[in-house]
Amino acid sequence: MSTDAARRLVDEVGRLKRGAVDDTEEAPASTLLYEISSRELALLGLVSLDLRFVPILTVAVPVVVPSLSRFIVTDPVTGFILAAPLGIIALIVLSVVTSGAAAIANYYGFRLSRANGDLRYERGLLQRYDGTIPLDKVQTLTIRENLVQRLVDHATLGVETAGYAPGQGTTLGSEAAVPLAPKDRVVSLAQTIEPFGDPTFERPPKRARQRYAVRYTLALLALTGVLFAVIRFSGFEIGWWVPLLGIPLTPVAAHYQWKNRGYALTDDYVLTQAGFWVRTTKIVPYYRVQTVATSASIFQRYRDLATLTVDTAGARSIIGSNARALDIDAATAATLRDVVADRLQASLRARRVRG
């Protein structure tokens, strides 16, 4: 099928979905919402790190590191110890380059437009993609910012619909509504889809921050014990105590994890936020909520904390990527569960009245 024929078929499906019966109806005029610039495409290549490449690239480590060690020193054990960090650095660089090249190829010529209640996108260098995102099927909006993106004040916008979510499929990083743009522009575009306002996030209680500090300290102590055992039984002359140097930094790491978690409730939306390396903000309309539940691990119960999970019909909820308010006060979580459930029913009633 030719490209023009495929596009005509998409328009015809959209026309039938709207209930049009006149075959002479013209295709709706589209409004361009976003077009990626050359600068943004280059920046996307720099900030895109896809960890899915790491398992593939690590296959080369057992081959590269021994070969590299022979060029450093003749002693194989010492050469391996010196070459391993170089191999890890090379793996990271190769992952960044591979991820960047894939992102540029996927989002080359990206355009996002709006026509008659649908978002339409086109993208791709080696393989061209065109498609639509029905706005009446939107379940969740996701604003995602990794650490590098936050440093340059940029973000990514994803749109999840019933049966579909950004990142699905065989193509890397599929169908983000906006692959990369300045943060204020991403928020503005998200507001045109769901007008969620400018909410203020409530952070978890400070005892959650103490929990994170204890968790990081125990992880470093466990790593120290593993290194000590390796050195004790292998004879490697390396500092088993090196992980202990990170213990003074655990309060800082705990603070930033706490600072990037929270939730907000507005009249029409529930929002959650989590993640330091990749901060994810999810916006869910009440009428799209399928279930709302609270849960608490044994460690959360020790500090009287819980997690509030807001599930939708979006495909990503199936794999556990739904909106979650992490480590909030247990009593607050129970109250929020009831509030969200009540507002869901009120929102459904209001929509039925409006028809």
Domain edges within the chain: 3-35+109-193, 45-104, 207-248, 261-354
Pick the residue with more confidence: 131 or 285? 285
Going by pLDDT thresholds of 50, 70 and 90, the confidence category of residue 4 is: low
Question: According to the model, what pLDDT value does residue 6 have?
Answer: 59
Indicate if the pLDDT at residue 247 is higher than 90: yes
Q: Is the pLDDT of residue 178 over 50?
A: yes
Per-residue pLDDT for 220 more than 90?
Answer: yes
Question: What tokens were used for 107?
Answer: 């989002």
Tell me the residue type at 246: G
Q: Does 226 or 273 have the greater pLDDT score?
A: 273
DSSP conformation letters of 65-88? HHHHHHHH-SSHHHHHHHHHHHHH
For the chain, the C-alpha Rg in angstroms (whole number) is: 24
Beta strands in the chain (DSSP E): 31-35, 111-115, 118-123, 129-134, 138-146, 154-161, 178-182, 262-265, 269-274, 278-285, 289-295, 305-312, 323-329
Architecture field, domain 261-354: Roll (2.30)
pLDDT score for 64: 53
Instruction: Write out the H or E segment, with its range, that includes residue 150.
Output: helix 147-151
For the whole prediction, is pTM greater than 0.85? Answer: no
Average pLDDT over the chain reads 82
Which pLDDT value is given to residue 1?
Answer: 62
Query: Which has more confidence, 223 or 68?
Result: 223
SS3 49: coil
> Measured between alpha carbons, how far is residue 36 from residues 7, 108, 111, 151, 169 in Å?
21, 8, 7, 19, 22
pLDDT at residue 20, rounded to an integer? 54
Banded model confidence at residue 128, pLDDT cuts 50, 70, 90: confident
Report pLDDT for 354: 83
Label residue 232 by pLDDT band (50, 70, 90).
Answer: confident
Instruction: Select, from the ranges 1-5, 89-93, 182-186, the one with the highest average predicted confidence (pLDDT).
Output: 182-186
What pLDDT digit, counting tens, does each position of 61-113 carry? 555 555 555 555 455 555 555 555 666 677 777 777 888 898 899 999 999 99
Q: Work out the percent of the chain whose per-residue pLDDT is above 90.
A: 51
The answer to whether 197 and 344 have CB atoms below 8 angstroms apart is: no
Q: Which of 119-133, 263-277, 341-355 has the highest mean pLDDT?
A: 263-277
Q: Is the predicted pLDDT of residue 41 greater than 90, yes or no?
A: yes
What is the SS3 assignment for 125?
Answer: coil
> When comparing pLDDT for 273 and 165, which is higher?
273
Q: What is the pLDDT of residue 31?
A: 87
pLDDT at 166: 46
Lowest mean pLDDT, pick from 60-64, 87-91, 237-241, 327-331: 60-64
The answer to whether residues 333 and 308 touch, using CB atoms and an 8 Å cutoff, is yes
pLDDT of residue 59 exceeding 60, the answer is no
The per-residue pLDDT for 111 is 92
State residue 24's pLDDT score: 53
Mean pLDDT across the stretch 213-223? 94
Mean of pLDDT values over 121-130: 88
For the ranges 9-23, 42-56, 340-354, the lowest mean pLDDT is seen at 9-23
Q: Token pair of 159, please? A: 């749109």
Residue 62 confidence (pLDDT): 55
- pLDDT at residue 332 greater than cutoff 90: yes
What is the SS3 assignment for 297? coil
Distance CA 173, CA 178 (A): 11
- Answer whether residue 209 shows pLDDT above 90: yes
**Residues 6 or more apart whose Cβ sits within 8 Å of residue 30:** 113, 114, 115, 120
Mean local confidence (pLDDT), 316-331 = 80
| 52 compared with 40, residue with greater pLDDT | 40
